[in-house]
Amino acid sequence: MTARVLDGAATARAIREELRPRVAALGARRLRPGLGVLLVGDDPASAVYVRSKTRAGDELGLFHETVRLPATASTAEVAAVVEGFNARPEIHGILVQTPLPSTVDTARVLRLVDPAKDVDGFHPENVGLLVQKRPRFVACTPAGIMELLAREGVVLSGRRAVVLGRSDIVGKPMALLLMHADATVTVAHSKTPDLAAVTREADVLVAAVGRAGLVRAEYVKAGAVVIDVGMNRVADAAAAAELGPDRGEEFTRKGYLLVGDVHAPSVRERAGALTPVPGGVGPLTIAMLMSNTVSAAEAAAGSSRAGG
């Protein structure tokens, strides 16, 4: 058995195409969805993510503005940018690219984002609404995974789901979304005893721990759906060779590999379905950021119309 590939990139394209008529309808009302982006410091991965997100915005016809601050920026300086975005009616969504430098109070900055513009779904108000199953904005990666599962016909009601990882960005909201879909959910993490025994119970396994190749065949129930959220840079030739000859050739060309938390060569022989890395969850995250921004603009347009 070889796992079916869950093509996140194709699903992301479909989501973006479905957004086009909504953007056009807003345009007919002379309203262009706007995204304000804040990038602090010079982290290369963050810069790549921001470029990918703004490029997706360009393709959909969204307005976007990126403010870059040095890594030495204070919490007050970062907060001032967020408050500026809050005050501007042409900015409907705010993206604070994380991680922020350690000298910045990240929790305070995220609390300052207007909840109605919190398209990343990190504000405590939006987290609370998700807990109550009344979501306004949901963190983009878990939201994208739910879209993928639904469009791929993966049944969640009554199934066992294990989320490997407990971050605020992926693990916790992912567990809530799966629970709201009537799955029986277990959250596992680095302190879970006999981790493989826990993950083997899963009909649906979401791996989001940030450890390259941690999840191997012995962690996976036969026929399970495995969602690999990890994005890890491997620069060791021996580790790259373990990923198979195709990835070995890629390593020779680039000098590194981007790999997930799942050891794909072993897991694809046991799982029923598996997301690739790259090309799986990453494109979905960006698509859902666009979706949330369009939704924020629609909400703003509705509020404006109600007020007028």
Is 254 among the residues known to form the active site?
Answer: no
- Short-list 273, 274, 263, CA closest to 240: 263
φ, ψ of residue 136 to 5 degrees: the values are: -100, -60
φ, ψ of residue 178 to 5 degrees: the values are: -65, -40
Is 97 among the residues known to form the active site?
Answer: yes
Is 120 among the residues known to form the active site?
Answer: yes
User: 142, 204 in Cβ contact below 8 A?
Assistant: no
Measure the CA–CA gap between 264 and 71, rounded to whole angstroms: 36
Measure the CA–CA gap between 116 and 124, rounded to whole angstroms: 12
| Cα end-to-end distance, the chain, whole Å | 60
Out of 114, 118, 120, 261, pick the active-site residue. 120
* Residues taking part in catalysis: 53, 97, 120
